[in-house]
Chain A
Amino acid sequence: MQELGKAETNSTRIIRQDDKRVIIEKDLDTEYMVLSMGPQHPSTHGVLRLECITDGEVVVEAEPYLGYLHRCFEKHCENVDYPGIVPYTDRMDYLAGINSELAFCITVEKLLDIEIPRRVEFIRVITAELNRIASHLVAIGTYAIDLGAFTPFLFCFRDREHILSLLEWISGARMLYNYIWIGGLAYDVPADFKKRVAEFVTYFRPKAVELFKLLTENEIFVKRTYDIGIMPADVAINYGWSGPMLRGSGVRWDLRRNDPYSIYPELDFNVPVPDGKFSVVGDCLSRHLVRALEMEESLRIIEQSLDKMPDVAGFDSRALIPKKIRPKAGEVYGRAENPRGELGYYIVSDGKSTKPLRCKARSSCFVNLSAMKDLSKGQLIPDLVAIIGSIDIVLGEVDR
């Protein structure tokens, strides 16, 4: 934060030295006010703090401050053996634990160069897509709350509850699963798995349509998000955006398609990208639309995976898990499409230790959030809230 001049006692009188001042009315020269938004603010999605310099309701500049949830993930990794890192990855993007685990496990498996049983791959994809729906439901629900609609939020959480109880039934935990292990799974799925997931899919389809009608097609909701916080595609790529954020800017980029992993190449699904008819490409509404449409694609992936998943009698999901993970010396970068974008792990192994020499996590939320300063310039405070909501950050992943 640069020096903004003197802050006198009792009155927040801030004089900027440069001439970046936004003047709304030419004759009315007003003073800036520094507004500290967060870390306990209701719409900063956790513990993000934004220092906004405001001119009335206009945000001249918003600077995000991070680190309130920093837990030294990367340093921890250097002191824990490979299987021990998996539970930590859950705690990064705590709304999509399975996806974080999946990204980490495929990275280490790449380093180890081991084969994964086909049944395990399908279970991984089904659980990951279930978790993606759950995560998008939270994103959409909290976005509705940011814009003042409370009911869609509770509808989202009601439906998410079904997913959480499914995953709890499979893995024993509701949010921090530790289910996907390097080379396999913690447990095979229970006997009724296919039936119950299929039941959920038939339950959820009409609910997603209802949610779309209630929120996305709502006139006020569209008014609040249409043409707000536009991010052009080239700038988005330069910022390194990924996931629904990048797709919202009109770039058809999905790692499940562009850098395929697991069994995604075998599955038939679309990558929704806004066409500019319902929204301006790159605005908040586009990002919301991408998330809303992706849930349907995830449902399609789940259905196809359920059909193709082989039933193996007496299947042992831990059979191929290496007894001791000690990769040969080398480095690897593995990535997967998380609900919030590209989650990548860069792992360096020295070939001697069972612990990684270095483990760097490339967090999608952190990269997406980096554009905040650019997006927020000259916006109104309500629009700032709409923009933060559309970025859909999870501070656990931003701060790591």
Chain B
Amino acid sequence: MSSSPSLNTWSDALSGFSIGWFPLGLVIVAVIPLVFIALYALTYGVYGERKISAFMQDRIGPMEVGFWGILQTLADILKLLQKEDIVPTVADKFLFVIGPGILFVGSFLAFAVLPFGPAFIGADLNVGLFYAVGIVAIEVVGILAAGWGSNNKWALYGAIRSVAQIVSYEIPASIALLCAAMLAGTLSMQQITMMQAGPGGFLHWFLFTNPIAWLPFLIYFISSLAETNRAPFDIPEAESELVAGYFTEYSGMKFAVIFLAEYGSMFMVSAIISIAFLGGWTSPLPNIGGLELNTMTSGPVWGAFWIIMKGFFFIFVQMWLRWTLPRLRVDQLMYLCWKVLTPFSLVSFVLTAIWVINH
């Protein structure tokens, strides 16, 4: 399927816009995902998670600040801003300060290749998927810097665990994504999405067009939980074992930045899994005879809506798991990665290759 003429029109137009030598358009392109992360982390990430967990646990959650506690996150942010910015005296100050920064940059850089609808993408790289998988690995450096720089034993344990976990889980995650790349025949995020677009809505998604894709889909979903340190793989920050893991010593805005990075990468992996297997920004509704639901719900704005909704759905599943399951032990986690997920991802890789050759 060739790229439609309307692809990337908004972001291309924005990128070309500059005032004198200053590339204002490029800055705006970069700022849009940033604003999106902040807004979504504030609303759905923090407030939503608190409400969702509350309803799962027979509670009502925050109710005091604003109607139904809707301003609770704002109050929390104001509180965090007022907190004293403590750097432990024995900490390695440079690493301690730069750790959260690297962490956030790592999760934020991947947003560059996430298409928010057909018309907007930060950079439509021809190696977009590869870039997204690779850039996330920067987070490991941030975590290690934060954990080591804190000069705290719990933080060090958390950091070491986290590095082992993230590096290990990148293997099944990458192989699973490779299956999607093989099905699409390209690494560009927009092209992968375009391959799954069509009048049949969800029937064109990779998950439903072939009998193998559910396996890499599941493998990537499980691995993405581990990569973002979410339950049941949240052992790097296991609060009952390691107090708070690598961010034990952090407080105030540095703590907020770490949280922002976590929510950022949560959305990032959710968006990647939607793009790779669930058609990204394409509409799930099919055209049924004269009722052209798919055509009606496609377009730049609808595209942004669908990708965000799909991302939010997976974030909801992540929260659902978090509030249901206990935590795995560190060796069980490694067992799951190396002895279950990695072999199965290789199997799915071979099966996908056979499927692609025969179709």
Question: A32-65: contact bitstring with B at CB < 8 Å (1 yes, 0 no)?
Answer: 0101000001110000000000000100000000
Q: Is B243 in contact with chain A by the CB < 8 A criterion? A: yes
Q: Is B153 in contact with chain A by the CB < 8 A criterion? A: yes
Q: Is B84 in contact with chain A by the CB < 8 A criterion? A: no
Give the complex CA separation of A277 and B241 in angstroms.
Answer: 29
Q: Is B59 in contact with chain A by the CB < 8 A criterion? A: yes
Least distance between A378 CB and chain B CB atoms (Å): 13
Least distance between B253 CB and chain A CB atoms (Å): 24
Give the complex CA separation of A351 and B19 in angstroms.
Answer: 99
Residues of B with C-beta under 8 A to A144: 326
Give the complex CA separation of A57 and B235 in angstroms.
Answer: 12
A147 touches B332 (CB 8 A): no
From known contacts A146-B240, A148-B238, A381-B241, infer whether A223 and B329 are also in contact, taking CB-CB under 8 Å. Answer: yes
Q: Is B41 in contact with chain A by the CB < 8 A criterion? A: no
Residues of B with C-beta under 8 A to A149: 324-327
Chain B residue nearest in CB terms to A150: B323
The residues in B between 107 and 157 inclusive whose CB is less than 8 angstroms from any CB of A are 153, 157
The residues in B between 71 and 102 inclusive whose CB is less than 8 angstroms from any CB of A are 90
B153 touches A382 (CB 8 A): no
Contact of A155 among B57, B90, B234 (CB under 8 A): B57
Number of interface residues of B (CB under 8 A): 28
Q: Is A255 in contact with chain B by the CB < 8 A criterion? A: no
From known contacts A33-B153, A57-B157, A154-B59, infer whether A220 and B327 are also in contact, taking CB-CB under 8 Å. Answer: yes
B157 touches A148 (CB 8 A): no
Residues of A with C-beta under 8 A to B331: 380
Q: Is A385 in contact with chain B by the CB < 8 A criterion? A: yes
The residues in B between 227 and 246 inclusive whose CB is less than 8 angstroms from any CB of A are 231-232, 234-235, 238-243
Measured as residues with beta carbon below 8 angstroms from the partner, the interface class of chain A is 20 to 34
From known contacts A41-B243, A43-B241, infer whether A223 and B57 are also in contact, taking CB-CB under 8 Å. Answer: no
Main secondary structure of the interface of A (DSSP, over half): helix
Chain A residue nearest in CB terms to B240: A43
Residues of A with C-beta under 8 A to B324: 149, 151, 214
Residues of A with C-beta under 8 A to B57: 150-151, 154-155
Chain A residue nearest in CB terms to B233: A148
Chain B residue nearest in CB terms to A384: B241
Contact of B323 among A35, A151, A382, A383 (CB under 8 A): A151
Most chain-B Cβ atoms within 10 A of its Cβ — which of A158, A221, A224, A382?
Answer: A382
Residues of B with C-beta under 8 A to A385: 240-241
Residues of A with C-beta under 8 A to B238: 148, 382
Question: A314-344: contact bitstring with B at CB < 8 Å (1 yes, 0 no)?
Answer: 0000000000000000000000000000000
Give the complex CA separation of A317 and B329 in angstroms.
Answer: 53
A220 touches B325 (CB 8 A): yes
Least distance between A328 CB and chain B CB atoms (Å): 51
Most chain-B Cβ atoms within 10 A of its Cβ — which of A155, A158, A221, A381?
Answer: A381
Q: Is B212 in contact with chain A by the CB < 8 A criterion? A: no
Give the complex CA separation of A382 and B332 in angstroms.
Answer: 11
Q: Is A112 in contact with chain B by the CB < 8 A criterion? A: no
Give the complex CA separation of A224 and B328 in angstroms.
Answer: 7
Residues of B with C-beta under 8 A to A35: 153
Residues of B with C-beta under 8 A to A150: 53, 57, 323
From known contacts A148-B240, A218-B325, A220-B325, infer whether A380 and B58 are also in contact, taking CB-CB under 8 Å. Answer: no
Q: Which residues of B contact A (CB under 8 A)?
A: 53, 56-59, 90, 153, 157, 231-232, 234-235, 238-243, 323-332
A154-B59, A381-B241 given; 18 more Cβ-contact pairs under 8 Å: A42-B239, A148-B232, A148-B240, A148-B327, A149-B324, A149-B327, A151-B324, A158-B58, A215-B326, A218-B325, A221-B326, A224-B326, A224-B328, A224-B332, A380-B331, A382-B238, A385-B240, A385-B241
Interchain Cβ contacts under 8 Å between A and B, 18 examples? A41-B243, A42-B239, A43-B241, A145-B240, A148-B240, A148-B326, A148-B327, A149-B325, A151-B57, A154-B59, A155-B57, A215-B326, A218-B325, A218-B326, A221-B326, A223-B328, A380-B329, A383-B329
